[in-house]
Structure formats: C-alpha cells, structure tokens
C-alpha cells in the first residue's frame, strides 16, 4: 500500500504540457532545467518527455530558488548535497535494521 503510493510518485507518466500547468513554468524553462541536469525525465520510444510527481515537486523547488535569484549551477550543487545526506541516512538506517534483526534473532 505504501509501496504502491511511492511507486505512483516516481512513475514517469506526465507530459510536459501538464507539468507546465502544474508548476506554472514554461516548457522552455522545464527543458532548460533538464539541460542543466536538474532533473531527468523519461523519454518514450518516440522521444516525448514523461515526468513523475517527484519531478513536479522538484521543479517547484527549483522555481522557488530561481525566484530568489539562485543560479541553476548553484541549485544543482544544493541538490547533490541533499541527496548525499539522504543516502547516508538511508544507509545508516539499513545497517541499524540489520543489527536489530541480528540481535533479535531466535528470541521470539
């Protein structure tokens, strides 16, 4: 159930026109942010871009930062830092989970 919901969030199914409406950004801006590696839409066999709800959220964050005058290069760095932080946290949690499983083994 939670799994399913997460998969919806990351499923790339929204075309650029709809993303434009959801975010208030122009097609041009959305494609440009891709050019600057701020996001990576899926490409269909025919070449059209497909975005996920996560991509839409990311674009809204980008829009906020751009409004504050932050350049795309800077936004990219911030995103990388955030991802590293999350990766570390995730690894820590998985390790903790393994330890818990180990010490609990055979007790119940």
**Contact positions vs its own copies (CB under 8 A):** 2, 5-6, 8-9, 11, 13-15, 18, 22, 50, 53
Task: Give the torsion sign (CA, 38, 42, 44, 16).
Answer: negative
Residue nearer to its own copies on the CB measure, 9 or 85: 9
Residue nearer to DNA on the CB measure, 20 or 54: 20
Residue nearer to DNA on the CB measure, 27 or 57: 27
Closest to 60 in 3D by CA, of 33, 80, 85, 37: 33
Minimum CB–partner distance for residue 48 and its own copies (Å): 9
The H or E element spanning position 43 is: strand 42-43
Closest to 23 in 3D by CA, of 65, 59, 75: 59
Q: For binding to DNA (CB under 7 A), which residues are involved?
A: 15-18, 20, 26-29, 31-33, 36, 46-49, 66, 71-73
């Amino acid at each position: 159930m939670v799994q399913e919901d997460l998969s919806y969030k990351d499923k790339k199914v929204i075309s650029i026109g709809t993303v434009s409406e959801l975010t208030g950004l122009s097609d041009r801006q959305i494609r440009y942010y891709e050019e600057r590696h701020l996001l990576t839409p899926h490409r269909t066999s025919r070449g059209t871009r497909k975005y996920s709800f996560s991509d839409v959220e990311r674009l809204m964050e980008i829009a906020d930062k751009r409004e504050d005058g932050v350049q795309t290069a800077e936004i990219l760095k911030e995103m990388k830092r955030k991802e590293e932080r999350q990766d570390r946290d995730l690894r820590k949690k998985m390790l903790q989970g393994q330890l818990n499983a180990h010490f609990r083994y055979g007790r119940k």
